[in-house]
Structure 1
């Protein structure tokens, strides 16, 4: 695998984790939202990941071999989960039903914080991989100068 492919793979990981952190942030921010534009409480968002071959430019293909095994990660879609809402008895709440229950999002803030830490660590790992690739390229240039 060449250095540019390595950078592409890390960059795709950064982009995917950025979307994951955005979805988690939205979940935390809306953990108490009882009314949305669609009606009903906010539904937890989750990012679905997939992989696809690392694309090579035409000039890269002409200059060397195609690495058919190199894969990049992609955030293919953001879905709303099917977790049922939690009913809480709050008869004075403006969104309470006839029995006095309010449908609240089924979001565990502690779980979301753990997911945020995981996404942050993954983001950091991709940055470290990019920095390692950059350092390898710099060392190769140093060797070439000598």
Structure 2
């Protein structure tokens, strides 16, 4: 029973990190998405946050998505007077996505995903060894 709980906890971690990687990929894909008009905002970086949640059936604490929120940091500005998105001074607001931060977040999410996958494999291996002993 405890091995099933550990597999459930690790599976919730896999789902959480998978969602985190999708959000990071979306951020990277939109890192050059500026607004179409001067008064509109460009793409705003999104960040997934998680919380611990108790599974009532098993009593195990699992990972759940709390929210996916926009990053409140300021947009960059680039001087491009010919752009349709330029303001009266000729500046275009750029998305607040930093590819280096996204790459570091992606690496951390991948490592966490791999750790959860290894935990599931270990629990599965222990279950199989237990079954073999009972034969």
Q: Mark the runs of 5 or more structure 2 residues left unpaired by the alignment.
A: none
Match status 1:73 vs 2:63: yes
Deviation at 1:54?
2.7
- Please state whether the residue corresponding to 1:4 is helix, strand or coil: helix
* Corresponding residue of 1:46: 47
The alignment of Structure 1 onto Structure 2 pairs a total of residues equal to 132
* C-alpha displacement of 1:93: 1.6
In the aligned structure 1, how far is the partner of 2:44 from the partner of 2:16? Answer: 21
TM-score by length of 2: 0.92
SS in 2 for 1:15: helix
Q: Is the 8 A contact 1:31 1:42 kept in 2?
A: yes
Partner deviation per Cα, 1:82-102 (whole Å, 9 max, x = no partner): 111111101112211111100
CA contact (8 A) 1:90 1:102 kept: yes
Give the ranges of 4+ consecutive aligned residues of structure 1 lying more than 2 Å apart after TM superposition.
Answer: none
Cα distance per residue 1:52-91 (max 9 Å; x no partner): 113326xxxxxxxxx4xx3101111100011111111011
Q: 1:50 to 1:16 in 2, by over 3 A?
A: same
Shift of residue 106, structure 1, vs aligned partner: 1.5
Instruction: Give the alignment's Cα RMSD to 1 decimal.
Output: 1.4
SS at match of 1:135: helix
TM-score, L = length of structure 1: 0.86
Answer whether contact 1:5 1:54 (CA < 8 A) is retained: no
Structure 1 residue 40, shift from structure 2 partner: 1.3
- Determine the C-alpha separation between the residues in 1 that align with 2:23 and 2:93: 21
Residue 85 of structure 1 pairs with residue 75 of structure 2: yes
The aligned residue for residue 26 of structure 2 is 26
